[in-house]
Structures are given as structure tokens and as C-alpha cells.
């Protein structure tokens, strides 16, 4: 059993939980994910790791209530335990393999969209701890949905906030902010990393291509086993079938077939809607 030692709500629908998982915490690296099963009957939910502390033996996950299973996870409170937390899964971020000299010569820009801001944090923190220059763009629909602002400020060189409605920071999408930074403010970057909704990663990639900036994206595909056996996480990258759970989740954005990935993501929308409508929380605290 995996005990929740801390829970806080970042917004009314996004919760952050620190979970006791010592072996996972000591092995986790930026870019990896884990799979949570709330109870014995629970669905396996892949979640990106938002932080890890090997000394305390804890990992942090951020979950948005979007369906029956994510609502179930968010209904758990401090002191409750999950049946399973499996990981770390997937390949760590590409930069973890680079030498200190290589990293020192690069300037990174992260493009974080909505809930996708949480998994950006451990990556920026890892680079910051090694003295690497990192700028971060966070995009959210509105001010109240911005997450990880203070945490990110403490680990990046420059933080640029954008909101769709202009309630905080730049009014517009993350892609418009990136274009402004490069084309108007004269910023120079060697590598972009985009994490957020699939549609944002598609347009971030198109913008990066225009700016001749290499971009890595983290694909949040459907997943079932997370071990390369079931094929649920199948994506086409560079014309080849790849399994996001074992060969990703990070891929070269230029090579990803985003339209197919978005079609596959929507495959079970009807079933998910029905499950959410009929969901009764098994831990007994309502939806």
C-alpha cells in the first residue's frame, strides 16, 4: 500500500499528492511517469511524476479530475493509501544523458500548458541544480488555473506567464509568447520542450519548426499496462509505430503524427463520459 502523506488542491479540480513510495522515489528521473491504481478494482492511471524526494521516500503526483478514475484518485485524502503505485516508467528526459559541458552550452525553453506544468517542474529543477540556463513559459486558460508558479520561479531564469483571457501576464497562447520572445525580444534558444494538452504540443511544434528550434514533446497517450505489451499507447513517430510507455513518453516533436495521436486519445470518450456519469466513489466520499 502507498500512503498519501500530503494532499493539497491546486485548483478546485487539480490535486497534488505526496505519496510514500521509497523505491520509486530513489529511482525516479525527470521525464518519467508512474501508474496509479487507487484500489483493487481501480483502472490503471498513468501520471507524470511532478517531483520526487529520495531521502523522504516520496513522489509527488498532480491529478486533474477529468473522468471517473481521476475523480476517484482525487477523492483520496491524507492518510489514505493507494493499492498500487508502479514506476518509474518510460525513458528519462534526453538531457539527463548529456555531459555537464554539453548542458552548459545550451539554452532551454520549456513550454508548459495547464496541468502539463506539473511534470515540467522536475525537469527544470534538475537542470537548475546543474547550473543550466532555463526559461519557462506557462499557459493557462485563466489566472486561477495557473499552477506551480512559485515553485517554477524558484528554479528557472525567466518565467513567462500567459493566460488565454489576459487575467495574468501575457494575453494569448504559449505559442504566441514563444514567437514574441524569439522574434521581438531577441531570445535565442537551442532546445524547446513542450508538455501539455496534445493540441498545444502540436501547435508548439509547428511554431518551433517556423523558428528552426528543435522541440521535444511528452506524449500523454492512452495507456493500459505501461510495459509495452498491450499497444494502447501506440503512436506514429517518424513514420514508425512506437510505444509511448516504453520508448517515450518524450519524442522529437517534428516527427510525431499529432493528428493520429489526438484521434486515438478520443477513442474512448463516450465510454469515459458514461463511466463518469455513473461513477460512485469506492472510497465512499462521493464524486
Q: Where along the sequence are the contacts to ligand FES (CB under 6 A)?
A: 223-226, 228-233, 243, 245
Question: Where are the alpha helices (H) located in 137-185, listed in sequence order?
Answer: 149-153, 174-179
- Placement of cell 489514505 in the chain: 80
Q: Are 160 and 136 in contact (CB under 8 A)?
A: yes
Q: How far is the CB of 72 from ligand NAD (least distance, A)?
A: 16
Q: Which is nearer to ligand NAD, 37 or 202 (CB)?
A: 202
Q: How far is the CB of 224 from ligand FES (least distance, A)?
A: 5
Q: How far is the CB of 44 from ligand FES (least distance, A)?
A: 9
Q: How far is the CB of 201 from ligand FES (least distance, A)?
A: 18
Angle (CA) 61 221 135, round 5° = 60
Q: Which is nearer to ligand FES, 194 or 232 (CB)?
A: 232
Q: Which does 226 bind (CB under 5 to 8 A by kind): ligand FES, ligand NAD, none?
A: ligand FES
Q: Which is nearer to ligand NAD, 37 or 116 (CB)?
A: 116
Q: Which is nearer to ligand FES, 225 or 272 (CB)?
A: 225
Q: Which does 17 bind (CB under 5 to 8 A by kind): ligand FES, ligand NAD, none?
A: none
Q: CA dist 123 to 8, 52, 180, Å?
A: 22, 11, 24
Q: Which is nearer to ligand FES, 139 or 249 (CB)?
A: 249
Angle (CA) 233 237 241, round 5° = 55
Q: How far is the CB of 166 from ligand FES (least distance, A)?
A: 39
Q: Which does 67 bind (CB under 5 to 8 A by kind): ligand FES, ligand NAD, none?
A: none
Residue 11 class from Cβ within 10 Å (0-12 exposed, 13-18 middle, 19+ buried)?
middle
Q: Which is nearer to ligand NAD, 25 or 115 (CB)?
A: 115
Q: Which does 73 bind (CB under 5 to 8 A by kind): ligand FES, ligand NAD, none?
A: none
Q: How far is the CB of 141 from ligand NAD (least distance, A)?
A: 4
Tell me the DSSP string of 28-77: --TT-EEEEE-STTPPPEEEEEEEEETTTTEEEEEEE--SHHHHHHHH--
**Contact positions vs ligand NAD (CB under 6 A):** 48, 113-116, 119, 139-141, 162, 164, 173-175, 195-197, 199-200, 203, 218, 220
Q: Are 42 and 69 in contact (CB under 8 A)?
A: yes
191 SS3 class = strand
Tell me the DSSP string of 5-21: EEEEEEETTEEEEEEE-
Grid cell, residue 35, equals 501508474
Q: Which is nearer to ligand FES, 81 or 236 (CB)?
A: 236
Query: From the DSSP assignment, how many helices (H) and strands (E) are in the chain?
Result: 10, 16
Q: Which does 50 bind (CB under 5 to 8 A by kind): ligand FES, ligand NAD, none?
A: none
In angstroms, the CA 185 to CA 243 distance is 38
Q: Which does 197 bind (CB under 5 to 8 A by kind): ligand FES, ligand NAD, none?
A: ligand NAD
Amino acid at each position: 500500500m502507498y500512503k498519501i502523506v500530503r494532499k493539497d488542491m491546486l485548483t478546485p479540480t487539480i490535486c497534488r499528492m505526496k505519496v510514500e513510495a521509497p523505491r520509486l522515489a530513489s529511482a525516479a528521473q525527470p521525464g518519467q511517469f508512474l501508474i496509479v491504481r487507487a484500489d483493487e478494482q481501480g483502472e490503471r492511471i498513468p501520471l507524470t511524476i511532478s517531483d520526487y524526494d529520495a531521502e523522504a521516500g516520496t513522489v509527488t503526483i498532480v491529478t486533474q479530475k477529468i473522468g471517473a478514475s481521476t475523480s476517484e484518485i482525487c477523492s483520496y485524502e491524507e492518510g489514505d493509501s493507494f493499492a498500487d503505485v508502479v514506476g518509474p516508467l518510460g525513458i528519462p528526459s534526453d538531457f539527463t544523458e548529456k555531459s555537464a559541458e554539453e548542458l552548459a552550452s545550451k539554452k532551454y525553453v520549456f513550454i508548459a500548458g495547464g496541468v502539463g506544468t506539473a511534470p515540467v517542474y522536475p525537469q527544470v529543477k534538475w537542470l537548475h541544480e546543474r547550473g543550466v540556463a532555463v526559461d519557462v513559459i506557462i499557459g493557462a486558460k485563466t489566472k486561477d488555473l495557473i499552477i506551480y508558479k512559485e515553485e517554477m520561479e524558484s528554479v528557472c531564469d525567466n518565467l513567462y506567464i500567459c493566460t488565454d483571457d489576459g487575467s495574468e501576464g501575457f494575453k494569448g497562447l504559449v505559442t504566441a509568447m514563444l514567437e514574441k520572445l524569439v522574434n521581438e525580444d531577441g531570445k535565442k534558444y537551442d532546445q524547446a520542450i513542450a508538455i501539455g494538452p496534445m493540441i498545444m504540443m502540436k501547435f508548439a511544434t509547428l511554431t518551433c519548426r517556423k523558428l528552426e528550434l528543435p522541440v521535444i514533446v511528452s506524449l500523454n497517450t492512452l495507456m493500459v499496462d505501461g510495459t509495452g505489451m498491450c499497444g494502447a499507447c501506440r503512436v506514429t513517430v517518424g513514420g514508425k509505430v512506437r510505444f509511448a510507455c516504453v520508448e517515450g513518453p518524450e519524442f522529437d516533436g517534428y516527427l510525431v503524427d499529432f493528428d493520429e495521436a489526438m484521434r486515438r486519445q478520443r477513442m474512448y470518450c463516450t465510454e469515459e463520459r458514461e463511466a463518469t456519469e455513473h461513477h460512485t466513489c469506492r472510497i465512499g466520499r462521493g464524486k
